[in-house]
């Protein structure tokens, strides 16, 4: 009798534990789907379907130009000092210049010089002409205040990154360390000017065969990588363990009453 009672209690415990785990999983997993179905109009209004940026095949990427807030590095060749290659360099002049809100720097011997909208090459030529003696001037944008993109959300290193070359979707993701586990690959959002475009990262990071053309990220764009609303395996395991322990305690209490 005791052996049968023990077997019956063990079977009952397993049944209660399995029911508890099943109930937990069934109650947790559909939540994201129910949330999506409950507000379709809000989601459709928030994410516009207009293309955020051209694909790589037909892009006309904007040039790197000087803008307000940029930090410039300017070297003047042709007077004092030496570059080590037989080219004289003016070492008496400062080399870093902050562009003000109007696109103007204050340069020795010239005063206020407007460089807004010029490329570094154009700015160097402009300064060389403005100086009284023939000189060669090089201008580099050390830090740009406008030529950057942002990668946010469920990535290893979210933040703002200065553009180098022509950043494609994958190169921007790589710079941010790539998507983390539990990423909603189908729910990424690319914000370009006034438009939000939903991107399916599965087209670029999953599967095999010919890949769809990547979109470029333009200056000021933001890529938002969403985290999946589904519970992770670790979260399911923790809740299942708690429920299983509670089920066992319930069975033990019932046996004590008998």
Write the pLDDT tens digit of every residue in 193-220: 889 999 999 999 888 788 888 899 999 9
The predicted model gives 78-98 an average pLDDT of: 64
Question: What confidence score (pLDDT) does residue 240 get?
Answer: 65
Greater confidence, 98 or 4?
Answer: 98
The SS3 of residue 62 is coil
- Class of 32-61+147-225 per CATH? alpha beta
CA angle 143, 95, 92 (to 5 degrees): 175
Q: Is 256:9 a contact under the CB 8 Å cutoff?
A: no
The predicted model gives 245-257 an average pLDDT of: 59
Percent of the chain surpassing pLDDT 70: 61
The single residue listed with the structure tokens 């305690």 is: 249
Residue 12: what are its φ and ψ, rounded to 5°? -65, -40
pLDDT at 47 over 70: no
CATH 3.10.560.10 domain range(s) in the chain: 32-61+147-225
In angstroms, the CA 234 to CA 240 distance is 10
pLDDT at 241 over 90: no
- Residue among 183, 144, 169 at smallest CA distance from 221: 169
In angstroms, the CA 100 to CA 72 distance is 11
Whether domain 71-143 has CATH 3.10.450.50: the reply is: no
Torsion angle of alpha carbons 55, 56, 57, 62, nearest 10°?
Answer: 100
Q: What tokens appear for 176 in the block? A: 């941010």
The SS3 of residue 94 is coil
The neighbouring-strand residues paired with 155 are 179
* Confidence (pTM): 0.60
Greater confidence, 41 or 19?
Answer: 19
Give tens-digit pLDDT for 115-139.
999 999 999 999 999 987 767 899 9
Give tens-digit pLDDT for 171-182.
999 999 999 998
CATH 3.30.1950.10 domain range(s) in the chain: 71-143
In angstroms, the CA 211 to CA 58 distance is 16
pLDDT at 189 over 90: yes
C-alpha distances in Å from residue 254, one per residue of 2, 18, 250, 251 = 16, 18, 6, 5
């Amino acid at each position: 009798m005791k052996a049968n009672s023990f077997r019956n209690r063990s079977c009952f415990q397993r049944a209660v534990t399995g029911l508890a785990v099943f109930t937990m999983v069934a109650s947790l997993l559909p939540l994201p789907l129910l949330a999506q179905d409950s507000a379709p109009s809000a989601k459709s209004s928030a994410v516009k379907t207009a293309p955020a940026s051209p694909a790589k095949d037909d892009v006309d990427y904007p040039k790197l130009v000087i803008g307000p807030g940029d930090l410039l590095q300017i070297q003047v060749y042709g007077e004092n000092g030496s570059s080590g290659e037989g080219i004289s360099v003016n070492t008496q002049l400062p080399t870093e210049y902050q562009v003000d809100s109007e696109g103007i720097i204050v340069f020795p011997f010239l005063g206020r010089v407007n460089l807004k909208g010029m490329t570094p090459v154009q700015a160097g030529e402009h300064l060389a002409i403005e100086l009284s003696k023939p000189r060669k001037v090089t201008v580099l944008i050390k830090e740009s205040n406008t030529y950057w993109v942002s990668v946010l959300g469920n990535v290893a290193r979210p933040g703002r990154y200065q553009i180098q070359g022509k950043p494609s979707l994958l190169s921007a993701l790589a710079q941010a360390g790539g998507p983390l586990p539990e990423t909603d690959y189908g729910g990424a959002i690319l914000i370009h000017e006034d438009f939000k475009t939903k991107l399916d990262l599965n087209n670029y990071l999953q599967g095999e065969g010919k890949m769809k053309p990547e979109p470029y990220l333009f200056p000021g764009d933001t890529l938002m990588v969403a985290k999946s609303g589904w519970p992770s395996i670790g979260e399911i395991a923790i809740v299942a363990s708690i429920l299983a322990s509670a089920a066992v305690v319930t069975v033990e209490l019932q046996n004590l009453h008998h």
